[in-house]
Amino acid sequence: MVDDDISTDSKDERVKLEFGVLQAELEKLKEENYKLRNMLDEVKRNYDTLQMHFASLMQVRKVEDCNQEQDQVFEKKQNENVEVLVPRQFMDLELATTNCDDETSLSPCVGRSQIESKSIANNIEEGSKEFDHDKNESHSGIERMDSPPKEQVLAAINNNNVPRFSPTTNVEQAEATMRKTRVSVRTRSEAAQISDGCQWRKYGQKLAKGNPCPRAYYRCTMAIGCPVRKQVQRCAEDRTILVTTYEGNHTHPLPPAAMAMSNTTSAAATMLLSGSMSSAEGLMNANFLARTMLPCSSSMATISASAPFPTVTLDLTQPPNPSNQFQFPFLQNFPNSTTSLLPQITADPNFTAALAAAITSIIGASLPNINNNNVSITANNNSNENATSSNNSNGNNNMNNPNSSGKTS
DNA sequence: CGTCTTTGACCAGCGC
DNA sequence: GCGCTGGTCAAAGACG
Ligand SMILES: [Zn+2]
């Protein structure tokens, strides 16, 4: 009996030991699997990015060929001092901020850059209306807000796993000239605010000049100290259009909706802006890429050198044009989208905010030294946004609060 | 009672 | 310096 007991005990112990070993091994394998999966993801992203880059280069070459033929016309225009300014702005990043950051020079800059975009990139977009709205939105003094510290920038880079084309020196240089990157989203919405998965706290409201609708200011409260802010304002011309401008980088993980987009947009956005940093050619790249990022859109993407800080504009108000979907593999790799069509994706109310959040983080982190870029991406969206908070007006307009005082400083 | 919104005050930048 | 404008602060109140 005693012997038997001992033998079963030792047997149990051996089994336990073995179990423990196996469990440890399993854990190890899990970990390894996780690492490998991460690596695979990264490789995939890099592949997508490279493919984008390649495509853009091909486009650039095409356009260059085209331009050589039209060189004389170009030179003539440049002599008229109309076209030449944009490339210079992109080259002299620091000077550019002083060239173009006052209100009076803003409009001419918009005009110039759009002419530039169009003539170089062959019929990229007419989008002057959009930029008029954007102009109203963005000539404010946000640039005086504090730049995020280096750690934050690096953290954001890591968070998004963005493959960077700008060398480290650019990031360092960028710290000196750091400006807030902004992502402006235009959607059709009756709600006072689009639901974007983040938590926001309203901290102010103003009547902006040139727009009877008040502009509301929100700050991200998903994490203590998150510097992300957003402005929400209705379009003066079409009050069904809600313009939401995001600014800054989240210091916390993005909500699932935003994360879903992040992987897909990171490569594209990085490409978009890395291409646009230093030259007219880059401007072209960015336009081309912006156009291809959301190929279902009826209008195309533009990039402009108008803003005192880089601004990506997502116009989700246009009617759909599903003729040319899936031009690029990264869109096919869109998480969970292998069976769905892009218009459905862009109609998702989460899409807007997710894309905005992702791009804000990405470009804010990886390419902070572009000072005068405006990227506009247009897609269709008739989403039904939900207001996450009641957002009353203290302006003298038609918003919800009948008791509003009508006074704004 | 804690959280959020409202809203007048305040501040900085800019043009004159 | 002054006024205008956009952005932020913070006290007071609303709300659950
Ligand atoms: Zn945040």
Instruction: Answer for A369: CB within 7 Å of strand B.
Output: no
What integer pLDDT is reported at residue A186 of this predicted model?
A: 85
Of A327, A356, A358, nearest to A342 by C-alpha is: A327
Q: Residue A6 pLDDT > 80, yes or no?
A: no
CATH 2.40.110.10 fits A180-272+289-316, yes or no: no
What integer pLDDT is reported at residue A55 of this predicted model?
A: 61
Q: Residue A219 pLDDT > 80, yes or no?
A: yes
Q: Sheet containing A374-380: which strands, arranged edge to edge?
A: A200-207, A214-220, A229-234, A241-247, A182-188, A311-318, A374-380, A302-304
Q: Which residue has the higher pLDDT, A379 or A89?
A: A379
DSSP secondary structure string, A363-376?
Answer: HHHH-TT--S-EEE
CA A187 – ligand 1 centroid, Å = 21
Pairing assessment for the beta strands A200-207 and A214-220 based on DSSP bridges: antiparallel
The integer distance in angstroms from the CA atom of A205 to the C1' atom of C7 is 9
The integer distance in angstroms from the CA atom of A132 to the C1' atom of C9 is 30
Mean pLDDT of chain A: 54
What integer pLDDT is reported at residue A204 of this predicted model?
A: 94
Of the ranges A204-208, A236-240, A259-263, A340-344, which is most confident?
A204-208
Q: Which nucleotide is nearest to A204 (CA to C1')?
A: C8
Instruction: Answer for A202: CB within 7 Å of strand B.
Output: yes
The residue-averaged pLDDT of A121-139 equals 35
Taking the C1' atom of C10, which residue's CA lies nearest? A203
What's the rounded Cα separation, in Å, for the pair A182 and A364?
8
Please, which residues have CB less than 5 A from ligand 1, an ion?
A: A 220, 222, 226, 228, 250
The residue-averaged pLDDT of A165-181 equals 42
The residue-averaged pLDDT of A167-178 equals 39
Instruction: Answer for A231: CB within 7 Å of strand B.
Output: no
The integer distance in angstroms from the CA atom of A143 to the C1' atom of B12 is 11
What b/e readout covers A32-54, taking b as 16+ CB neighbours within 10 angstroms? eeeeeeeeeeeeebeebbeebbe
> Exposed, middle or buried, A325 (CB in 10 Å: 0-12/13-18/19+)?
middle
Using a 7 Å cut-off to protein CB atoms, list the covered nucleotides of chain C: 4-10
Q: Where are the domains of chain A?
A: 180-272+289-316
pLDDT tens for residues A253-291? 877 766 644 443 344 344 444 444 444 444 455 555 555
ipTM of this complex: 0.95
Percentage of chain A lying above the pLDDT 90 cut: 5
Instruction: Answer for A125: CB within 7 Å of strand B.
Output: no
Instruction: Answer for A405: CB within 7 Å of strand B.
Output: yes
What integer pLDDT is reported at residue A21 of this predicted model?
A: 81
What's the rounded Cα separation, in Å, for the pair A268 and A245?
20
The integer distance in angstroms from the CA atom of A206 to the C1' atom of C4 is 14
Instruction: Answer for A217: CB within 7 Å of strand C.
Output: yes
CA A225 – ligand 1 centroid, Å = 8
Q: Give Cα A192 distance to the centre of its chain.
A: 22
Q: Which nucleotide is nearest to A210 (CA to C1')?
A: C5
Of the ranges A63-77, A132-146, A164-178, which is most confident?
A63-77
Instruction: Answer for A53: CB within 7 Å of strand C.
Output: no
Report the range of poorest mean pLDDT among A50-59, A116-125, A219-228, A249-258.
Answer: A116-125
Instruction: Answer for A88: CB within 7 Å of strand B.
Output: no
Q: Residue A112 pLDDT > 60, yes or no?
A: no
Q: Which residue has the higher pLDDT, A366 or A254?
A: A254
